[in-house]
Amino acid sequence: MSRWGVSSDAADLHADALVWDMTLPILTPGRPERKAELFARAARSGFDCLSITLAIDGMDFRAASQQIAEHRRFVRNRFPTCVLVSSTDDVLRAREAGALAIGLHFQGTTPFEDELGWVELFHALGVRHALMAYNEKNRVGCGCHVSDDTGLTDFGRRLVREMNRVGMIVDCAHTGYRTTMETIETSASPVIVSHTNAHALCAHPRCVRDDQIEACAAKGGVLGITGLSAFLGGAGATPERLVDHIDHVANRVGPEHVGLALDYVYDIETFEAFVARMPGMYPPDAGYRDMRQIELEQAPGITQELLRRRYGEKEIRGILGENWLRVCREGWKPTERSTG
């Protein structure tokens, strides 16, 4: 065994590959000392790019703006080991410089309130993807825990088109079935499901069904696989179980449509206490308590398991990060600058 406790072949590939995690919910409640060490832990585990959550549904424009300001400062204070990115070229430059690239996203659309113009404003502040509805119903559509999913609203359709226009990727994680399918149909650009798992392997409302997987892939999108036991099912939070879900997506639509999004909760005990106070957003019978997760340090084990299952090097590099690179190259657009 070499570093990370994996084979030398797995360690060499993991170190050389672009490793990109599309969802790290840094906004979740937690102890400051655990939050402060997050990026260093990720870098030591071979990650090159992390997208961090800065707002969820229930937050308005002001609250989301405050979180952006706070976390842009949080990242800047860790320069040059971490850098904020807004383009795929930024990601590659950061990696070349030995820095951890940090992107920004929202888990929900309530920060836009009813102002389409705020999409462009948040894009200018670095937000590069936003999911439609976080578990519950909002003005855009329905989340995955809404029993009667009424689908994408008229405002939701206008919002999707505006996100397409400015270059903010549309995300259907946490979103209800009908709202997801109508969002994918509406979008002119690739749609992602940033952090999810396969419903066929774990029948949780947060997990996507096979026709959702196929619709996302047909639009050119990518589905990120989480490392949380509630959504992995089976043997729980292990690299082997996570690769079971990668296998399922890859077998349905090809390995070019699957990536990593561990949804890593840096203080899971504090998060579980928060969840217990929010039964509408996190139904008590939905498995959100006594959760386990794949730790950041276990990421090289995912590479080893992919090698053991005889994925090719090109496929593994795609799953680890190049699939996210591809979809972001297509979906992201640079911030427009005034010519006046």
Residues ≥6 apart with Cβ < 8 Å to 163: 119, 130, 169, 170, 187
Contact 207, 228 (CB under 8 A): no
- In the structure encoding, which two tokens stand for residue 305, read together? 């398991």
Domains present along the chain, CATH in parentheses: 3-331 (3.20.20.140)
- In the structure encoding, which two tokens stand for residue 151, read together? 């689908």
pLDDT digits (tens, 9 = 90+) for 229-238: 999 999 889 9
Q: For residue 329, what pLDDT is reported?
A: 98
As a whole number of angstroms, the distance between CA 60 and CA 154 comes to 20
pLDDT digits (tens, 9 = 90+) for 305-331: 999 999 999 999 999 999 999 999 999
Q: For residue 259, what pLDDT is reported?
A: 99
Q: For residue 1, what pLDDT is reported?
A: 58
- In the structure encoding, which two tokens stand for residue 184, read together? 């994918």
As a whole number of angstroms, the distance between CA 120 and CA 118 comes to 5
pLDDT digits (tens, 9 = 90+) for 42-83: 999 999 999 999 999 999 999 999 999 999 999 999 999 999
The ranges of the chain with pLDDT < 50 are 338-340
Q: For residue 3, what pLDDT is reported?
A: 84
Identify the H or E element spanning 258. strand 258-260
pLDDT digits (tens, 9 = 90+) for 194-211: 999 999 999 999 999 999
Q: For residue 337, what pLDDT is reported?
A: 61
SS3 state at 110: helix
> What size, in residues, is the chain?
340
| Prediction pTM value | 0.97
As a whole number of angstroms, the distance between CA 186 and CA 163 comes to 11
